Amino acid sequence: MSAIVVVVITVLAPAASIAAGGGGGALDTLGPVVLCYVIGVVLGNVGLVETGVPAAEVAGLVQTVTVALAIPLLLFGTDLRAWSTLARPALISFGLAILSVTVTVLLVARWFDLGATTDEVAGMTVGVYTGGTANMAAIGTALGVPEATFVALNAADLFVGAIYLLVLLSVAQRLLARFLPSPPRVGVSDDPEVTGATDPFEVVPRAREVTVALALAVGTIVVVAGLALAVLSPIVSGEPVVDSDAFATAVILGVTTAALALSFVRRVREQPGTYATGQYLFLVFAVAIGTLANLRDLAGSFTSVVPYIVTVLVIALTLHVLLARLLRIDHDTVIITSTAAVFGPPFVGPVAAALRNPDVVPSGMTTGVLGLAIGNYIGLAVAALLR
């Protein structure tokens, strides 16, 4: 499949999934996010998008661009004064998520033989479930983990994580509602498309509104990236600044901070179309990342590493829910902070859309970025403790 066709499919598939999900049937129950992810997985596993070819590289680029644009679009409408009522439970829940995975890894890492020492595996696992794959890669590099071990652990995480993501996007809210309190609804935006509609696409923005929204997002990214490049150029050596982990982290932190700062400007906060445009971009992201989930690449890790990852994730998630029940934290906050810990900021938007609760977006974004910032420290600390 050509790169152009991949772009066309990833951009148009969300519109088709939204239309298909409006009939009240099974497709409506799954929701557009799940449909888009499934479309991407099908494309990636029937040979239409093969790893390492230009089409796959374009899909990866689409994934990166849509995430970068969607983050500020989802945050422009944030009312931080209203969100302050949700901040404390979110931080507590995120802390419980980190505590749960750390305790679980310390207990079970010794049970498995994964081709590396226990401290290396434990450190990478804590890192990936505190802030995402970037943390796992950084910890693996710092500890000198063999490439084969990293590849196997990363592949297993992709496979198990895909299953968990589908649970989050479909039945997690209904399951946890039996055990945890319902969330408060404060409304993070004065925009009726966010506060007045449970479906972000119930109010379709006009072309002019989408153009203005995208212009705001692009402008924010350009300014933040320029500042990050200027600050890091004298510091980063041995590789291009834009390819460094420091640049990526700085841009994520900077875009999040800038978007939240702009949310204090009333005209920005009330600009129609920002939230719906951001959600649509996350649907494009779901298709793109689905095309990269090639199941054939995961086959080698099914017998050893996958059982380890399943064990860690199931025990850690169970412990997180039990602790949240003791502290009476609502189910949407638990879900979004678990998303932030396991997947990082890029997946907060789709999960918030599946929850039909835009109030949790700032909580998820903030804790997700926090995880990116502290995950390496916690993972390396666990490795040092076990060593």
Could you write out the DSSP letters of every residue in 150-207? HHHHHHHHHHHHHHHHHHHHHTHHHHHTTTSPPPP---S-S-HHHHS-SSTTSSPPPH
Q: Which phi and psi angles does 107 have, rounded to 5°? A: -85, -35
In whole angstroms, what is the distance from residue 204 CA to residue 188 CA?
19
Which pLDDT belongs to residue 386? 86
Which pLDDT belongs to residue 199? 57
Dihedral, CA of residue 347, residue 348, residue 354 and residue 355, to nearest 10: 150
Which pLDDT belongs to residue 55? 59
Which residue type occupies 89?
Answer: P
Which residue type occupies 63?
Answer: Q
Q: Please give the sequence-ordered ranges of beta strands (E in DSSP) within the chain, or none if there are none.
A: none
Which pLDDT belongs to residue 188? 47
Q: What is the pLDDT along the chain (387 residues), one digit of tens a residue?
A: 566 777 888 888 888 887 776 544 555 555 676 778 778 878 777 766 655 556 567 777 887 788 788 878 877 877 766 656 657 899 999 999 999 999 999 999 888 776 567 888 899 999 999 977 778 877 887 787 876 677 678 778 878 888 898 899 889 999 999 999 998 765 544 343 333 344 566 667 888 999 999 999 999 999 999 999 999 998 887 788 887 767 876 787 788 788 888 988 989 988 988 888 988 887 887 788 777 666 665 565 567 788 999 999 999 999 999 999 999 999 999 999 999 999 887 788 778 878 888 788 888 888 887 887 688 889 888 988 887
Which pLDDT belongs to residue 289? 72
Which pLDDT belongs to residue 141? 74
Place of tokens 């779901």: 286
Which pLDDT belongs to residue 69? 87
Q: Which phi and psi angles does 21 have, rounded to 5°? A: -90, 10
In whole angstroms, what is the distance from residue 301 CA to residue 322 CA?
30
In whole angstroms, what is the distance from residue 266 CA to residue 290 CA?
37
8 A C-beta contact, residue 359 and residue 188: yes
Which residue type occupies 6?
Answer: V
Distances, alpha carbon 197 to alpha carbons 27, 270, 276, 287, 290, in Å: 20, 15, 11, 24, 28
Q: Which phi and psi angles does 116 have, rounded to 5°? A: -150, 170
Token readout for 361 is: 């977006």
Q: Which phi and psi angles does 222 have, rounded to 5°? A: -60, -45
Which pLDDT belongs to residue 120? 87
Q: What is the pTM of this model?
A: 0.64
**Could you say which DSSP state residue 301 is in?**
G
Q: Could you tell me which of 121, 130, 167 has the C-alpha nearest to residue 148?
A: 121
Proportion of the chain in helix, strand, coil states, percent, rounded to 5: 75, 0, 25
In whole angstroms, what is the distance from residue 15 CA to residue 366 CA?
29
In whole angstroms, what is the distance from residue 345 CA to residue 69 CA?
12
Tell me the chain's radius of gyration from C-alpha atoms.
20
Could you write out the DSSP letters of every residue in 200-226? TTSSPPPHHHHHHHHHHHHHHHHHHHH
Distances, alpha carbon 114 to alpha carbons 93, 120, 148, 309, 380, in Å: 30, 10, 10, 11, 18
